Structure 1
Amino acid sequence: MADFIVYHEEKKMDREKNAQENTFVVTTAEAGTENRVKVNASGHVDQLVRQYGLLSICATALTIGKSYNAWVALGGSITVAVANGGAPGVIYEFLASCIYYGFIATSIAELASSIPSAGGVYHWASVAGGKYGRGLGFFTGLINFYGWIFGLAAIVVIPANVVVQMYVVFHPDFVVQLWHIFLVFVLINWFCCLTVIFFNRFMPMLQRLGLFILAVGGLATIIVLAAAKSHASASFVFIDWENATGWSGGVAFLTGMLNGAFAIGTPDSVTHMAEELPHPRRDLPRAIAAQIILGALTGFIYAVALMFAITDLDAVLTSNGSFPLAAVYAQATGNPGGTFALLFIVFVSVMICCIGVYITAGRIYWALARDNVTPFSAFFSKASARLSCPVPATVFCGILTTAFGAIQLGSKTAFADLGGSFIILSTTSYAMAILPPSPLWPQERSAGPVLDGQSWLLGEHNLGATNRIHELDVLLPIRAACDCADHELQFSHTRRLLRSHDTLVDRTRVEPVSRAASASFRRGGAQNRG
């Protein structure tokens, strides 16, 4: 009995310690009275349950960021990727993307450890911008959110294509229509949206399950591909550069890097779940590191195995169906049953990824609404205490995703540009948070209360070098997207959408980092130093 009491007393002390770690006491004066309010690092009272442990958030990063899922994203874009250098282009362009996103992730990890906020890059840009912080934070949040919405639409279409393709495997004469894919797209989209809303308490367990499925499914897929009866030559995989784009080799390499960037380029994904972790300053950098390192490793191994499994590239490029990766699996397995099984692994993996991306997108819009960045912010800033989910913001993401999914009915090219827009907008938002001089960076910080309790600190010289490299990193995906043949269409749609949002928002109401947040940083730092 005594041991039981001691155990629960220790648990109680741990909970109190976690609460102190993630909150600050702020004194506000109203009508001559003083009120002491506990706020988190973003300057708001906690509204969501802190239910993610280290394993859960790492699993979420690996599934949500398409990084451990990189092998799925790479396989899904194979017909586009092979045009930019053939099999060697797919492999080397992916590795190049992993390197430059590694530098970006290093900077984001330090910022996440400094200010663990659901707003992520939006809040960091607000602090980094100084007197321009409000405007910089506004545009950073807007750009980051729409980047994630474009990415959400681009990733939801993958399981939709896989479902149709699984039917085609056993019905090879079936003619796929765009409306078939869109119908499945809508069903999957709203299934993921409603799952996030009504089953939020099961999300940590689901993400851990997803990590297991990705590990086992990815290993099984690689073994099947490696055990195929016939393989491509090593020269085809690593040496024979085939540029079918009509551009120079350098431009083709840059545009090919977009496929790798789409597979690995989401280092901020779990930072928007900071207010659902007991130890965000410690665990977020670890999750980001796991995402990039394991994503690069598994993506490379899968890409090599996949390229060796291609024995007839023309059959892959001209295959009947909605998901050309099925043609590679058919060549590797030699039977419809094996092809269906490998496609089912892809389907389950990407479904869990879609659910994770929904969590991220909904949290971003909710965080923006809390600080009056969005239209109807009073409505979208609500979060259900019972469901521990920002329901209005999540539903809004579902509506937007459905609308963007309808683009494929009019133009597959325009819809394909959503993936490129995701890379451009997300990377731009990272730059807006990282590049400005900021009190968050060691070389710019004097007193430094913001960083108290931070677990990921590179030091002045390492961080400075990383930021300078990041300046070049940001230019790569943007320049690559600008080199795409359809960039005029892509940017015109993106500009039009962002401009329409600007007309709805009264920018004078934007408060990217509240006074309570600023006070909490100073008071919290002073208390810890004292």
Structure 2
Amino acid sequence: MPELHPVLSGEQILEQVVSNKKYFNNTQNVEEPDINAIMSSSDNALLAEIGYKAELTRNFSTLQVFGVAFSIMGLLPSIASVTATALTAGPAGALWGWIIASLFILTIGVGMAELGSAMPTSGGLYYWTNYFSPPKYKTVISYLVGNTNSIALVGALCSVDYGFAQEVLSIVVIAKDGDFTLTPAKNYGVFVACVVAHIFVTCASSKHISKLQTASIIVNILIIVLYIIALPIGASPNFKDGKYIFGQLDNYSTWPKGWQFVLSWMPAIWTIGAFDSCVHMSEEAHNATRSIPIGILGSITTCFVLGTVIIIVTTACIQTDDIAGHIIGTDLGQPMAQIIYDALGKKWAIAFMILIAIAQFMMGASILTAISRQIWAFARDNGLPFSFWIKKVNKKLSVPINAVWFGGIVAILIGCLCLIGPAGSNALFSLYIAGNYFAWGTPIFFRLTTGRSKFKPGPFYLGKFWSPVISWTAVAFIVFVIIMVMFPAGVNPDRETMNYTCVITPGVWILSLVYYMVYAHKNYHGPCKTVDIDESEGISIEGIDAALDEEERSNEKA
């Protein structure tokens, strides 16, 4: 694996070029250099030092990198999907669970942002694991991380699109005044239609998909603003007081009250959980060493703040004291739909659920984009079956179309868990959490231990003291969460309340290891070098100066 050497960022190159006045002061017929091209060249030079040839066009700005994560988090739709879990510990459990979990999640974001700033590549999680792990075990561990991350992201798509199906069917129930029977088969049918639609949307050109992220930011913000304005107007004057919102801890499960409060952290853990998508967009981002950490930390912080506001507004506007029966056990099939219905009535409830469903659909499109890049990167290193086919890129669209189809088809197959009922659909949520937390924590852990001397910070780094303190906190929280998501919905679980994550997630790890030992070890040898440093299209200030000198001489001759 090549050692990383400092590479000037696009901003640094731009700064030095602009400050070199001899090219731009009183000079006629000399065009300023294409800054986007310069920045892309710098990004590609760093990618070449990491070991990869640039195959995707860098169409994503820093805002759009942020938009990928923020769109996947899809704040209001995501909170709507897990409202029942949040309120199981009462309104105060929902609020404080969100705040506590968000702060811990931010520590994970810091650890990942430091790695993404130092070594930005689409397959970052398994690449970093391979780089920092003990040499004897790095290949198998990186394979396990790459495979787990791929499956976990597919699980995320399943949970997002299953939430979309629930929202769409809740609209039907409201429109028909309850005269509509919800079944697992109907949920699965809408789910499959949604996944297929996302496949076609995500196959659009990279430029169009990048613009979709900007649109998604606007849509999500507008829905949140409309929600926090309209819901209080409809609920007035029947507001819950501050004691209810901040201090009313309940327990609508069979677990002890303290443990149920801890389980109320799950909504934040599930919602604020797509920030690794910024890493997977590294090879399509301008100035990746800065845009990746900005995207990760910006999306986490924004969702933390706005999510806190949403939960306060929602709990303040609940129109009933019967949370367990009327909200969590609603006949509408969607607790958030019931809260909106009670406060605003049928027409507004339908309108809001349509808007939430639109935002949820955009979430799915964004997450399939991130999935396809991770799958493509892992296939580029021969980590998946049919890698020779999956890793092909459509040069015209700058999209790994085969990887998009592969991710979508696997999602449809895994989504069959929806047919089991609520227990199966909950497993989709937990599979995404357990798998991703394992994939996030492994490279952070090895960077702190066996790879400590190899780590060379990028532009974003918190220093020798705070960096390890925060990263060790993240590792401890990750271990805790992986254990927590294995717990069932209550004591003495039956077929309906069983948490199948404790079977599915370890099953993925075991099958991955078996597949590696039987077959994958023949083809997967860790991240592959697809370009030699000597052949990379590096860029330097001296190179730019030489090019501008040559252009100036040509103009003088002319």
TM-score under structure 1 length normalisation: 0.88
Q: Which amino acid aligns with 2:173?
A: V
Task: Tell me which of 22, 26, 44 is aligned to 2:52.
Answer: 44
2:10 matches 1:10:
no
Q: CA RMSD, aligned part only? A: 2.8
Structure 1 match to 2:158: 153
* Closer/same/farther in 2, CA of residues 524 and 23 from structure 1, 3 Å limit: closer
Task: Tell me which of 128, 134, 140 is aligned to 2:139.
Answer: 134
* Closer/same/farther in 2, CA of residues 378 and 438 from structure 1, 3 Å limit: farther
* Closer/same/farther in 2, CA of residues 371 and 424 from structure 1, 3 Å limit: same
2:261 matches 1:264:
no
* Closer/same/farther in 2, CA of residues 71 and 467 from structure 1, 3 Å limit: same
The separation in 2 between residues aligned to 1:526 and 1:178, in whole angstroms, is 58
Q: Which amino acid aligns with 1:330?
A: Y
Task: Tell me which of 504, 514, 522 is aligned to 2:528.
Answer: 514
Q: How far has the Cα of 1:437 moved from its partner?
A: 3.8
The superposition leaves residues 333-384 of structure 1 with CA deviations (integer Å, 9 ceiling, x where unpaired) of 1x21111111122111111111110011111111111111111211111111
Q: How far has the Cα of 1:254 moved from its partner?
A: 2.3
Structure 2 match to 1:392: 402
The separation in 2 between residues aligned to 1:236 and 1:383, in whole angstroms, is 54
Q: How far has the Cα of 1:143 moved from its partner?
A: 1.3
Structure 2 match to 1:115: 119
Structure 2 match to 1:32: none
Task: Tell me which of 318, 329, 348 is aligned to 2:329.
Answer: 318
* Closer/same/farther in 2, CA of residues 348 and 526 from structure 1, 3 Å limit: closer
* Closer/same/farther in 2, CA of residues 12 and 430 from structure 1, 3 Å limit: same
Superposition pairs of residues 324-339 of structure 1, within 5 angstroms: 324-333=335-344, 335-339=345-349
SS for the counterpart of 1:406 is helix
Structure 1 match to 2:365: 355
Q: How far has the Cα of 1:282 moved from its partner?
A: 1.2
Task: Tell me which of 214, 221, 232 is aligned to 1:215.
Answer: 221
* Closer/same/farther in 2, CA of residues 200 and 456 from structure 1, 3 Å limit: same
Structure 2 match to 1:143: 148
2:386 matches 1:376:
yes
Gaps of 5+ in 1: 25-38
2:30 matches 1:20:
no
Structure 2 match to 1:465: 469
| Contact map agreement 1:43 1:520 (CA 8 A) in 2 | no
Q: Which amino acid aligns with 1:288?
A: I
The superposition leaves residues 180-233 of structure 1 with CA deviations (integer Å, 9 ceiling, x where unpaired) of 221111111111111001344211211111111111110100111222222223
* Closer/same/farther in 2, CA of residues 211 and 233 from structure 1, 3 Å limit: same
* Closer/same/farther in 2, CA of residues 323 and 40 from structure 1, 3 Å limit: farther
The superposition leaves residues 364-419 of structure 1 with CA deviations (integer Å, 9 ceiling, x where unpaired) of 11111111111121111111111211111111111111112222113320221111
Structure 2 match to 1:192: 198
SS for the counterpart of 2:32 is helix
| Contact map agreement 1:258 1:480 (CA 8 A) in 2 | no
The separation in 2 between residues aligned to 1:520 and 1:134, in whole angstroms, is 25
Task: Tell me which of 431, 453, 458 is aligned to 1:444.
Answer: 453
SS for the counterpart of 1:463 is helix
* Closer/same/farther in 2, CA of residues 420 and 183 from structure 1, 3 Å limit: same
2:80 matches 1:75:
yes
SS for the counterpart of 1:50 is coil
Structure number with bigger Rg: 2
Structure 1 match to 2:8: none
TM-score under structure 2 length normalisation: 0.84
| Contact map agreement 1:175 1:321 (CA 8 A) in 2 | no
SS for the counterpart of 2:397 is coil
Task: Tell me which of 280, 283, 289 is aligned to 2:297.
Answer: 289
Structure 1 match to 2:129: 125
The separation in 2 between residues aligned to 1:133 and 1:259, in whole angstroms, is 33
Q: How far has the Cα of 1:61 moved from its partner?
A: 2.0
| Contact map agreement 1:107 1:434 (CA 8 A) in 2 | yes
| Contact map agreement 1:41 1:115 (CA 8 A) in 2 | no
Gaps of 5+ in 2: 1-23, 490-496, 543-558
State the percentage of identical aligned residues. 18
Structure 2 match to 1:309: 317
The separation in 1 between residues aligned to 2:282 and 2:535, in whole angstroms, is 16
| Contact map agreement 1:42 1:513 (CA 8 A) in 2 | no
